[in-house]
Amino acid sequence: MFQEARLLKILDYLQQHESMSVGEICSKFEVSRDTARRDIVKLVQEGVVVRTHGGVALPELQKVLSSYQDRLIEGSSSKNHIGQLAAKLIHDHETVFFDVSTTVQFVAEHIQARQITAVTHSIDNAGVLSKREDLSIYVLGGYLHTQNRLLYGPSVLDKISEIKADKAYIGATSVQSDGLYYPYEEDVRVKKEMAKQSDQVILVADHSKFSAKSRFKLDIDYVDIIVTDQSISEEMKEVLDRKNITLFECTTNNAQDGVE
């Protein structure tokens, strides 16, 4: 098992059990104590865990991401409006990447274009898209992350690098003037590879993302279009203008906060 996949599994375990010893890492993943210690060092350096006597634990004040199903409900009206507008940018016969994001899922639900090829590592996106008999769906295979309902691992990145797409729809946990931010390093790698392999990258993000914070950055220069639900700050608009990023604001009266 590659280190990145093992680190994600360690984080999954910590979300359920809060702490994990070196011995438990060795036993669960059949690795040496030296390998387990290197995993711990990597996680500590990335700031997602704290070292304890004999292992690691989640920081006491860390806000653990809510389940995918909960996130889908939160801010659903705003995300639905975003999805409706963003889906209109897809044309017949295009190949499109669909990122794992509850907002991106609303894009999938509103597609009107026909005969497109959809590429995704999201179980829920695949389910939504499968209702359309005229679409071709390519699911990127890997390890299953049950909480966030996605497939992950080196094979996902390898397959993305072999596919050329017309568009990529991505989400974000945080949108700042210097970039998009995500809770896990693997998130950035997947988004970056999708962006490199696409002619156009469309970020769908509700207003709450522009005041949120997260950890790992994807340069905002990868983005071509941003679709959001409320007016953003003038400072942010100036940044987007300088970088030739097109902004669509589908203003709604829903002021609920959302998450990716």
pLDDT in tens, 29-79: 999 999 998 988 888 877 778 887 778 887 653 444 444 455 545 556 788
Residue 185 confidence (pLDDT): 87
pLDDT in tens, 102-153: 899 999 999 999 999 999 999 999 999 998 889 999 999 888 887 778 898 8
With a cut of 70, say whether residue 257 has pLDDT above it. Answer: no
Lookup: tokens for 242: 């300088």
pLDDT in tens, 201-252: 999 999 889 988 888 999 999 999 999 998 899 999 999 999 999 999 987 5
Residue 203 confidence (pLDDT): 98
* 3-57 CATH: 1.10.10.10
Residue 260 confidence (pLDDT): 55
Rounded to an integer, the average pLDDT of 2-21 is: 84
Residue 11 confidence (pLDDT): 87
Its pTM stands at 0.70
Residue 148 confidence (pLDDT): 76
Residue 70 confidence (pLDDT): 52
Of 4 and 79, the one with more pLDDT: 79
- CATH fold of 68-249 reads Rossmann fold (3.40.50)
Query: Can you give the residue ranges of every domain in the chain?
Result: 3-57, 68-249
Q: Which amino acid is at 199?
A: D
